[in-house]
Each structure stands twice: as structure tokens, then as C-alpha cells.
Structure 1
């Protein structure tokens, strides 16, 4: 009769050690891939946003640089509010109400209105102080952090990728201070139209 033998204990231990070594060397590569995907995601959305800002500015030029505190341009049958520099803004009562906000009057809600208004298919977002569960972008404003011109400090709209923030498990609000050194984000300067990407590992 032929005896069938299984693996010995030593052979099993050797196989487990080899698999452990493979897992240890492969794991950092998978972590790096997820970080690269997060970077690419922010860069893609920021690129689309920057292109939309450029199109709004070009349409403003084409329409003869409309001015005033209720200046609008029309793109694809959509009316978009613009500030005195021809860049997208929001109204004092939201995207379509009130007078246009200047670059030094931006709020988180105004930054969200710009984001939702100029993007063809805006991703789900929420403004600072609200739960970021089940959304992709967390929107805040940095008052006076933009370009200074004639002693006027302009505001910056900040759009953080939620997947790169640490959320409170109870409230869904990001933990700690959410600034440009936290997570992956991009900024929009309504005075210059500049869009800048920030990538940080947390």
C-alpha cells in the first residue's frame, strides 16, 4: 500500500515565513498606489475646475466684460455670477440671489456655490462644520489668505478630498485643524482665478 504524506511542520513554517516576507514587501506598494490614486483624483478635479474657471473668464471677455454687483455671463444656457475680475463667484443669497460677492467676501457656502455652478457634473460636497460622511469634498474658506492687492487681502476657497481627512466617528466632521498641510486639496483664488493643488500624506 502507498502511504500519502502531508507537509511536515517545518515545511509549513517555511511556507508561512515566505508568504509573510512577500506580504511585507508588497504591502507598501499597495499603500503607495492608493496615495497615488488620491493624488490623481484631486489633480483631475482641480484640472476640471481650473478649465471651467478659464472658460468663464473667456466668456466674460467675449460678452464685453460685464460689470456691476449683479454681473452674469451665460455658458451653455447656465448663468454664472462673476466678480469684478471676471472670475466665478456667488451671490449674497447663494448662487442665484442677491449681489455678487467680491474676492474678499467669500464664504464656505459661496465657494460651494462656485464649485457646483461651474462644474458640469459636480461631485458631492459639504461646507466646513458639517458631517463629511458620504461626500467626496469638504469645502472651507481661508479669509485673507489670497493675493494682497492695494492693501486688500482676498479669500481662498479650499476643497479637501474627504478620503484624505480623518473624520470623527460620531459627528463625521474632520478632526483637528483642516488646512493646506492636511490631506489632499486644491484652492481657488477668486481674485486671480488661480487653482493650486496640495498633496499631503496623513
Structure 2
């Protein structure tokens, strides 16, 4: 009988260690719920911060490119509007009479006006000023671009589309200003 009792004890020990008790399950669930309540808002903030940083970075890159084109225009000795600034990118960026980028890829058909009147011109500038792996910009939303291109008050506006927070970058060809607007 002694052997039988040992087998019974061993069977009971096995049965007792095969799972969680109801109290353990409730405690684990409560801990997970608390962690989720604390961590989820922080993760959402991190995602918002990533979008903001992305837009600010692209705005800075665009501003740098505008300055570089104007610097190349000055270095080339120009003093008026030109159709092609050699020494930057594909040598196909047109400028205003003050040397700020106004068009790209149009050669002698470039629009040198510092009033940006079409989204297509703004898109050409975006593509010519920024590197090939820059976020996409287009006025045709069927192409699912990262930025929607349009014009506002004679300026190019690039509205970030990966969030509904109203982030945009505006380029003023009259004075070369690039303003990144993060509505917070």
C-alpha cells in the first residue's frame, strides 16, 4: 500500500502544477492591463513625435537645398533669372532674378516667376531639390504620396499625409524661406 500512496501523492503533485489558479490568472491579467494603460499612451506619443521629426527633417532638407541652389547661383556669377543652375543636381533648376529656385527640368521653358502658381511646378522643384530617396510629393492623391502638393498665396505647400495632424512645409520663392508648420 505504501507504493500505492506514493503514486497517489505523485499524481496529485502533477495535477497541482499543471496550470494557473484563478487568482494567479486575475493577477497576471491585472498587471498586463496596468502596463497597457501606462505604455499605450507613451507609444502613441512616440509615434506622433516620429511623424513630427520626419516633417521637420524634410523641411530642413528642403531649406538646405534651396540655400545650396542659391549659393551655386551666386558662385556661378549670375545676377538675374536663369533657366539652369549648373553645379547643382542635374543642372536643370531655374531661378528667380534673386536666385531662388522657381522651376526644374524645363530648360528654356522654365517659369522664372517667384510666384508659385501651379502644384506641378512645386512638385518638379521638390523632385529636383531633394535626393531620390526623399519622401514622395504629388498633387495626385491616387499615387498615395507622403506629401500632397498645392499652392497657397503664391507659395508651394507640401502637406504631410501620413497623419491627420496638419503638418506642412511651405516654400516662398520670393525670399527663399522654408517654413515647417507642426500644429501641436
Q: TM-score range by the shorter chain?
A: 0.7 to 0.9
Greater helix proportion = 2
The equivalent of 1:118 in structure 2 is 129
Judged with a 3 Å threshold, the aligned counterparts in structure 2 of structure 1 residues 36 and 95 are, in CA distance, closer, same or farther, namely farther
Cα deviation for residue 97 of structure 1 reads: 5.5
Judged with a 3 Å threshold, the aligned counterparts in structure 2 of structure 1 residues 8 and 97 are, in CA distance, closer, same or farther, namely farther
The equivalent of 1:195 in structure 2 is 178
Contact kept, 8 Å, 1:183 with 1:199, in 2: the verdict is yes
> Which secondary structure does the structure 2 equivalent of 1:192 belong to?
coil
The equivalent of 2:67 in structure 1 is 54
The equivalent of 1:176 in structure 2 is none
Q: Does 1:42 align with 2:63?
A: no
Cα deviation for residue 136 of structure 1 reads: 1.6
Aligned length: 169
Report the Cα distance in structure 1 between the residues aligned to 2:99 and 2:83, rounded to whole angstroms: 9
The match for 1:140 among 127, 144, 150 is 150
Cα deviation for residue 74 of structure 1 reads: 1.0
Judged with a 3 Å threshold, the aligned counterparts in structure 2 of structure 1 residues 138 and 97 are, in CA distance, closer, same or farther, namely farther
Report the Cα distance in structure 2 between the residues aligned to 1:17 and 1:33, rounded to whole angstroms: 24
Report the Cα distance in structure 2 between the residues aligned to 1:16 and 1:157, rounded to whole angstroms: 52
> Which secondary structure does the structure 2 equivalent of 1:197 belong to?
strand
> Which secondary structure does the structure 2 equivalent of 1:51 belong to?
helix
**Pairing 1:1-202 to 2, within 5 Å after superposition:** 1-2=9-10, 3=13, 4-5=15-16, 6-68=19-81, 70-76=82-88, 77-90=90-103, 95-96=106-107, 98-121=109-132, 122-127=134-139, 130-131=141-142, 133=144, 135-142=145-152, 144=153, 155-165=154-164, 182-200=165-183
Name structure 2 gaps, 5 residues minimum: 1-8
Name structure 1 gaps, 5 residues minimum: 145-154, 166-181
TM-score, normalised relative to structure 1: 0.75
Judged with a 3 Å threshold, the aligned counterparts in structure 2 of structure 1 residues 39 and 45 are, in CA distance, closer, same or farther, namely same
Structure index of larger Rg: 2
TM-score, normalised relative to structure 2: 0.81
Contact kept, 8 Å, 1:67 with 1:84, in 2: the verdict is yes
Contact kept, 8 Å, 2:83 with 2:92, in 1: the verdict is no
